[in-house]
Structure 1
């Protein structure tokens, strides 16, 4: 199965294919737009370099047609994250070997100064539908994930890796041309591509694109587009649940939402409030393993694992008994993991002795249901995105009054993590001034901005001088040191006032 196969199946389809705001493109029109993108890419790409093209854009129709154009031309689309800044974003462009980047006008300034051409994103002139031969194992996308220790890794996503979940989920949920798939999660992430966009394409359904997710706009969009299916990640689902309820919330066409990392209470409330079925799964961009809950799955569980997925002791590699926490490992091989781009060290870390190591911790109950228990590596999960701590620490250490910095996660009240930093100071520092300093750092994205800052005399360390972050994370804000807090979307900090013990 290739994405080209799915596109060709829609080439003569006169039914609505892609909707966006007040636009509507039939599938036949959209595939012609993909053909135009393919012809343009064949003219623009140099044959002496990898055929990689970056995209820096919101969920707009041209994102969809450019991905289709890459499939039809044998090219590779690199999804760039517009929340990254400065050298961090430039590094992603260089690592992924982009010959050029298509960018919406609002994001083009983020690429200023790069020695890579930047072109406006749009639909080129129509061209004949002339797909190049491709195989399921051919590379189609590079999707970045922050990884375990800092800098993002580019995950290799083949035709099959995108087409298969689209076809599988469309079949599993009985989706067809009478359905509308609502995609509001960002398309530079795997969730939107594999659990949303590809599902709509495989089903021949209408794909309704939302430029950027909006909690208040979710239900109006569902009604406007007649959406019957939507994909999600946990925090946005929580945001929708947090909107003020109305008596007619369940009066909508939505019948199914599918995603991952939803908080248990939100899953139940979302289904009850909006009158739909919620299916929560567990997986990663890498695709080495995946879970999906079944009706008999206990609350809070991931479900039962696929054949060969085990929980093993990270030290011995032996299977863990029920209730003992260990690492999730695919003992049968890589699963859908096709490797990282230009990162053999990371490949070797994932694949050891023929096993795929997730870096995620879990435990099992007596009935064989698995439960997520945290992350083996140094990960933060903020608003549905994996963040590494090392890049944040490097930014904090730029301040002349910061001598040491450790970044770690503390539980978010709803789901995932909040970013917390512990600082050892070498000079004067006040909350307002520090917030202003961080706001002016060009490579610190909004989700990387610490929610809490702890001012410590020293950091806990091992005998080999490594910071014991698990101790800091365990104490969280309940420590004897002063803690600064940043409310909402503000960039300024204030002293957190805690009740006396």
Structure 2
């Protein structure tokens, strides 16, 4: 079967297919029922929001991962509307800003999220509440609709389809645009790369308002005619029971979700399931190896974003720790952010330590034709991405002599310690080897004089304690831990703070620094043993920052 040009075409292909297509804890729908439900919602949508003078009208979805989410995605594709995924962890003016900024004319939500909208000024917005009798009555007259019966205008490959918000941890979230053609192509590419078939079942446990779940999980299932199983919100304890219940074979993840799964109590039947593959980002080589050893499932690290500006493809010969090479047709380079000059190839010690990080680590850019389709109503952010005719990813990488690319963190996660540039992700991968660590985050805090110091936040495995001598001993035995990499401050906390997409919220960690309610251990001097950070030590640190003219860096 030829690849589809649009998401709408993929939805139409489900018509007449009576295999199981969509499930959650409470519902089971065939592919045909999904197409019929999407057609009914598309007809309702056309009646609720007539065409706009230019472009596609916008529908907001403020839902957990219920069957209504993929049904409304499919409906929008058929109708020729665009979907803005609204983040339910946003509050008050920030939530209103997201809805108003994307000019949503209809918002689909559920009763549990109605309190989030209380008191918000949302003029002209029509709100549909899916788990109500009024909604069912509103939808009932459209029950005989067929895919394609009702559209708001021509549906083409370049029709705007998704407005996916970035995390917004350092400012107002940007809404990245994705067309029907790009999403259909992304789905087809993953189908080919992972040999997804009609008998596969994709377990969608990451939030569907984010590109991870829609682009990397739902779209390839739709492209292959595979089944979709939903979990309303990610649950580590329900993961394996869900996989077994739904017969799931594929799932997507972010690194912190993998750590949560590894923190669940081991069982004798951990490998008794049909899962064959996990695809995601930022799991780290150590956690990926632990996951495969325990559950028998390989985790394939990918690279991409809602913006779609650059893609890295993993091949069978990809070395441990690398993401892969540039996808065919992409001209990817690692360059110095200030000059644009290409960085030197990475050199490694026999133990795998990166020997020339200062020369090799830089920002990943796409110097060729980029599929980036822009941000909604944000020309400044677009210009920042497309500088000098290149697409700048905002991510740090290094590249070996064979062209394999290694992720080194976000540009915001770079540290400069004693004049040496370090990448947080590289240090995290080392600290994750400590057998007492369940979760690790590394981030920069200001040095009293200049540059940064390394701080780490740790969560511990069940029953483990933080013993400073044991931690220092572990650090001393790591052959690839550079002399500037050892954390000066270590915060031990019950859980790492997360963003709405289950990524570690480093902004929150940097903001609180070592002035936090959790136990913090520190080294008063580089070679000193770790000791508790006491009130007296905090006072001395404050005085040190002040003496060197950086009291604001202390906070």
Same fold (TM over 0.5): yes
Instruction: Tell whether 2:335 aligns with 1:312.
Output: yes
CA contact (8 A) 2:413 2:444 kept: no
CA deviation after TM superposition for structure 1 residue 278, in Å:
2.4
Partner of 1:471: 452
Q: Residue 119 of structure 1: CA displacement?
A: 2.2
Q: Which has the larger radius of gyration?
A: 2
1:32 pairs with one of 11, 15, 36: 36
Name the one with the larger helix percent: 2
1:146 aligns with 2:167: yes
Q: TM-score scaled by structure 2?
A: 0.71
Q: d(CA) in 2 for partners of 1:211 and 1:148? A: 23
Residue 321 in 1 paired to residue 356 in 2?
no
Does residue 1:45 correspond to 2:49, yes or no? Answer: yes
Contact preservation (8 Å) 1:314, 1:326: yes
Unpaired runs of at least 5, structure 1: 381-407, 423-458, 463-467
Cα separation, partners in 2 of 1:475 and 1:257, compared to 1, 3 Å: closer
Return the match for 1:121 from 121, 130, 144: 130
1:215 aligned to 2:236?
yes
Deviation at 1:326, TM superposition (A): 1.4
Confirm whether residue 13 of structure 1 aligns to residue 13 of structure 2: no
Answer yes or no: is the 8 Å Cα contact 2:288–2:298 preserved in 1. Answer: no
C-alpha distance after superposition, 1:72-102 (max 9, x if no partner): 1111111011111122111111111111311
Aligned residue in 2 for 1:488: 495
RMSD (Å), alpha carbons: 3.0
1:292 aligns with 2:313: yes
Query: Could you tell me how far apart the structure 2 residues matched to 1:264 and 1:101 are?
Result: 40
CA contact (8 A) 2:49 2:57 kept: yes
4+ runs of 1 displaced by more than 3 Å? 46-50, 377-380, 408-422, 459-462, 475-480, 483-487, 489-493
| Aligned 1:46-61 pairs, distance under 5 A | 46-48=50-52, 51-61=57-67
For residues 12-52 of structure 1, the C-alpha deviation after alignment (integer angstroms, 9 at most, x for no partner) is 11111101113110011111110111111111114457611
How many residue pairs match? The answer is 428
The answer to whether the Cα contact below 8 Å between 2:6 and 2:181 also exists between their aligned partners in 1 is: yes
TM-score, normalised by the number of residues in structure 1: 0.78
**Are the counterparts in 2 of residues 280 and 292 from structure 1 also a CA contact under 8 Å?**
no
| SS of residue matched to 2:280 | strand
Q: Shift in Å at residue 340 of structure 1? A: 0.4
Question: What are the superposed Cα offsets for residues 312-363 of structure 1, whole Å, 9 maximum, x if unpaired?
Answer: 12122122111311110000032x2110000001111111222111111111
Q: How does 1:34-433 map to 2 (within 5 A)?
A: 34-48=38-52, 51-116=57-122, 117=125, 118-121=127-130, 124-125=139-140, 126-131=143-148, 132=151, 133-146=154-167, 149-306=170-327, 307-323=330-346, 324-334=360-370, 336-377=371-412, 414=432, 418=441
Cα pair 1:228 1:255 within 8 Å, conserved: yes
1:489 Cα deviation (Å)?
7.8
Alpha-carbon distance in structure 2 between the residues aligned to 1:112 and 1:419: 38
Q: Kindly provide the CA deviation profile for residues 284-331 of structure 1, in whole angstroms up to 9, marking residues without a partner as x.
A: 111111223322222211212233011112122122111311110000
For the residues of structure 1 that align with 2:72 and 2:335, how far apart are their CA atoms? 42
Distance 1:497 1:316 in 2: 38
